[in-house]
Structure 1
């Protein structure tokens, strides 16, 4: 690929998470994760959230039945400075979270939104 073609893509702008009710999901992501709304489009039934990083998260309502399979689904991974502290804070807010997984490079855990969408939090060891 030439240098010119390498500049056609400039990173990931947003990650879309499909939800059954954008209002319920938006409130959950704001209350449980502390994310702020940067764009709300009621006619398209979508909300864009600031993730405190370069990539936003877009919640987009669908009327289709969702089938989420942890082994095949794509999902966002949120960066955190302390996975254990975050997991404890999320659980205190009523968020379903799985066990911490640790290796020499990262500590991470999976958690779920009200629609059962898979989310992950990851701490990279420096």
Structure 2
């Protein structure tokens, strides 16, 4: 038995919980799996059957802490399609880069959190 099997949840700070919930659900195949009683947290998981995937939880803050690195990246089977979908949704995306058998790009959520997408 493994003591730790996966990263369960990634936490992302947001200033507008409702706007951020709408954005994440419109971009990614998430379903809401948790809402805190105090209204400060919303948890998402991918709506795929099978093995439970890492969750994403957004939480309310007054200001986004500065960061100069990516919080995490999303794995995609088709980086070009995701890149185009984000662009068509009005999201600023970097160019697609290639290195060491990977293809990837960066983007930001509406709160300025730096995120990425990768395929390999």
> Which TM bucket (shorter chain)?
0.7 to 0.9
* Match of residue 66 from structure 1: 64
Shift of 1:42: 4.8
Summarize deviations over 1:61-113 as a string: whole Å, max 9, x none: 112x323333xx35121010111111011110111111111124100000111
**Structure 1 CA distance for aligned equivalents of residues 37 and 87 of structure 2:** 30
Residue 30 of structure 1 pairs with residue 28 of structure 2: no
Task: Compare CA radii of gyration and give the structure with the larger one.
Answer: 1
After the TM superposition, which residues 1-126 of structure 1 pair with which residues of structure 2 at under 5 Å, given as runs? Answer: 7-51=2-46, 52=48, 54-63=53-62, 65-70=63-68, 73-124=69-120
Tell me which stretches of 4 or more aligned residues in structure 1 moved more than 4 Å.
Answer: none
For residues 42 and 114 of structure 1, do their structure 2 counterparts lie closer, same or farther at Cα, with a shift above 3 Å needed?
A: farther
Give yes or no for contact 2:108–2:114 (8 Å, CA) kept in 1: yes
Unaligned runs of 5+ in 2: none
TM-score, normalised to structure 2's length? Answer: 0.85
TM-score, normalised to structure 1's length? Answer: 0.82
Unaligned runs of 5+ in 1: none
Alignment: residue pair count: 116
RMSD over aligned Cα, in angstroms? 1.9
